[in-house]
Amino acid sequence: MALFVHLHLHTEYSLVDGVVRIGSERKDDGTLVREGLVDACVRMGMPAVAVTDQGNLFSLVKFYRAAQSKGVKPLVGVDVLVREEGERAEPSRLVLLCPPRPVSTIGRQVAIAWNGAVEAACAVAATRRLRSARSARASASPRAKRPSRWRDSRPRSVRT
């Protein structure tokens, strides 16, 4: 039995830098093409393994089921970047490992962080669109006829 357990490992679900696959790939005839994380842990006799993807828990269900089915204890975690609000320094990296049952606590925190990032990205995109629309209006000549979304598109002879 191995005395080593990975506690910080990124999988293919870590959107930036992960290449490790959870499950093994096999051809139609059953021959192994690429060994996955869980099968490698079984082969090396590791009793447990932790997956700490960067900023998400996308691999949670697939990893948990695969590890349980092979007799490896799944440890769930997340690799997050933490920075105080208003701080200009680079964010600090923090690896959060979760106890076996309260995965929902860490999942809730990661979801809040994702929602905040999505809302911030949408706000930035809306601001950019508004600025570009204002600059386009300002650069247009005052005599230029701008089409209006609400303008009556029927021919003038038909309008009342």
Question: Along the 160 residues of the chain, how does pLDDT read in single tens digits?
Answer: 568 888 999 999 887 788 889 988 888 888 888 999 999 999 999 999 999 988 888 888 899 999 999 999 999 888 888 887 777 888 888 888 887 665 666 677 777 776 665 555 555 555 666 666 666 666 655 555 555 555 566 666 666 5
Measured CA to CA, the distance from residue 70 to residue 110 in angstroms comes to 28
Measured CA to CA, the distance from residue 78 to residue 110 in angstroms comes to 8
Which single residue is written with the structure tokens 């309008």?
159
Contact, 53 vs 14, CB < 8 A? yes
Structural domain boundaries of the chain?
A: 25-83+90-99
Q: Supply the pLDDT for residue 58.
A: 86
Q: Supply the pLDDT for residue 68.
A: 92
* φ, ψ at 74 (rounded to 5°): -85, 130
What is the model's pTM? 0.64
Contact, 47 vs 68, CB < 8 A? no
